[in-house]
Structure 1
């Protein structure tokens, strides 16, 4: 690529870092120039990164030219002597690593469980869970919001929906946090992935023996002959991690952002009609999933006017795309009154986040409930941001009222 910028210091960690709520200037400059950059992804692959909204949307919207299932194993797996057969087995059921026809077959089994109509039935239960945690916070008189609210609320919801014992939450949340942490050495990340597979394999075996009314039970009862155990393990792990990590970080970061914009916080707290638009703006502005998964170019083509060769890997910066001034006016300003834009916080195309309706419901319930319960909510110490991680967020958010 003649217009590609080489950044020796641009690792996956740099491409996925921010300065508080701000994108790094290197990333915004790349978007402004329209150039691409050669980066190392968080998985260790070398890839070309695109940052403009149109380019990221094109990348995610064309699985014929840019395929997830053609991405090779991470270098750490190859160095450890693990072969392509094992890689394929690990990718089974992982909708973010598959394309049609397997992706179509598996997603069709799940789509009915994640419709907006079906998710609305969960609203009373989400409200109960939110109230339960707000009551505990009120009794304590202060809170560390990540530990007391932002993490346990979506964790409990996804556990009940999926069929995972909530008592196991400490184990799987710690494991997922370490796996997503860019500072975790590749061998350690592989060990954690092995533990996650072993844990979910044991759950699948239990559900096979006694399918319940949860999602894993439904898949076994209704699609037993169409889905393998490896696929059930992949589906379970993906939904468990995505179901609590993304929403948890949206709740903590969103709370901090609104505390820094008290006029907008008041609107979310006091005007129910404003909540839906506010959630969409927070999704766009925060974009906790920095970038999409790398995709492999299957034939020589172009992306946003840039030539890309067959066999190359390409990754899109979702965060940069959602702050593209070509799409959103004054994109770096949080404005909960903004008309919702076609943001990419949940991705785009056939891999658009399956759990988006659930995440939206959790946020629409949790944000106003939190601010109504504690109208004098304020910081009670320094927030601690998560850096060099696949999903942006906070380690700690100490609050009082």
Structure 2
């Protein structure tokens, strides 16, 4: 059993030049050489970087590991994240019964049955967006014309947020999830978004609809079971996560498929079963939550021959674990006919992504519809000139110019 090694390389999410779809090479090397290693964070503090798939599964399911980012020494992602840790606390940063109680409010809203009921509406939104792209004609930015409005429209309808306010909440979200944002700017954007959602939830008391915020207002705000601030925090989490992650998966996944014509053709021409497997493979291959699952050890934990002490910070690098050769054959290859869901793109354990059923449905419908509508789809500039989101909490592309 070992403890902290002397070398503590700096944590980075920077990709190798020309390799925008692969994890940072330094982290990938650690998977082979030192799968549980100390790294230095932006603050100068250190954390254990865990890269092996099996070790991450064990830790993320261990009740001795905390998600509470208000605790001392928690490895927040940036100065802005550190500044917002009390302001933005929602159920993803809670542990045990508190986490379960808050999460249970929304499990029915994101169930498989609820997603099946939403499918016709999602299909109509996709058709309308593709019709718009076709009318306008090439070139187009796939992010602004399709990848971003699709999940934004869906989550707005689910929550009861007016889509006409999308410029405001998308701009605020981008500020909040940018690791380069100054703390003051992040706090301002967070406050503005919370105030907006708090006002909206209160308005639902007077004019309820068939949406999640109306249910929050009637079942929790009106009865005193939750405060306006509680409702706003939870709504903010669902709104931001509901559009940022899927939008980037649509755009980045399309970009990756365009580099692999045979894989693209398989998705375009495949049946529902193949497309479902292709979505799982793209989730594994791209792992857009590239900042890792952040945790804090609450007790001494021995894992992989390493002793993690109580109070130590832990980062589970899920993008690297999803390339673990002990779990995936030829892990650095994109293979849309690969079978199995052993990836941890949505995490695992009690904090596994609440919205994964919605994300899967949107992706399973979006990719083939886009590729069948525009069989000649291609990048409108070289891959090296595409701006990738290295410094955002959610990886992807800022824009994706395409023609057809």
Secondary structure of 2:96's partner? coil
Within 2, Cα distance between the matches of 1:348 and 1:370? 30
Q: Considering only aligned residues, what root-mean-square deviation do their CA atoms show, in Å? A: 2.3
- Deviation string for 1:130-164 (max 9, x for gaps)? 11110111111111101110001001100110111
2:3–2:308 Cα contact (<8 Å) kept: no
2:281–2:335 Cα contact (<8 Å) kept: yes
After superposing the two structures, state which structure 1 stretch, 260-269 or 185-194, moved more: 185-194
Structure 1 unaligned spans of 5+: 81-85
1:217 to 210, 214, 225: 214
Alignment partner, residue 203 of structure 1 = 200
Q: What is the deviation of 1:221?
A: 2.5
1:5–1:37 Cα contact (<8 Å) kept: no
Q: What is the deviation of 1:341?
A: 3.1
Q: 1:44 to 1:353 in 2, by over 3 A?
A: farther
Secondary structure of 2:123's partner? helix
Alignment partner, residue 320 of structure 1 = 320
After superposing the two structures, state which structure 1 stretch, 353-362 or 167-176, moved more: 167-176
2:79–2:182 Cα contact (<8 Å) kept: no
After superposing the two structures, state which structure 1 stretch, 27-36 or 273-282, moved more: 27-36
Q: What aligned pairs does 1:15-26 form with structure 2 within 5 A after superposition?
A: 15=13, 17=15, 19-26=19-26
After superposing the two structures, state which structure 1 stretch, 237-246 or 69-78, moved more: 69-78
Secondary structure of 2:323's partner? coil
Within 2, Cα distance between the matches of 1:76 and 1:184? 8
Is 1:390 matched with 2:393? yes
Q: What is the deviation of 1:71?
A: 4.1
**TM-score of the two chains, using structure 1 as the length reference:** 0.91
Count of aligned residue pairs for this structure pair = 390
Secondary structure of 1:159's partner? helix
Alignment partner, residue 296 of structure 1 = 296
Alignment partner, residue 251 of structure 1 = 250
Q: 1:359 to 1:391 in 2, by over 3 A?
A: same
Q: What is the deviation of 1:247?
A: 0.3
Q: 1:385 to 1:5 in 2, by over 3 A?
A: farther
Q: What aligned pairs does 1:2-401 form with structure 2 within 5 A after superposition?
A: 2-4=3-5, 6-8=7-9, 10-11=10-11, 14-15=12-13, 17=15, 19-39=19-39, 46-62=46-62, 64-69=63-68, 71-72=70-71, 76=79, 88=86, 90-91=88-89, 94-142=90-138, 143-224=140-221, 225=223, 226-272=225-271, 273-382=273-382, 383-401=386-404
Within 2, Cα distance between the matches of 1:246 and 1:360? 11
Structure 2 unaligned spans of 5+: none
Secondary structure of 2:388's partner? strand
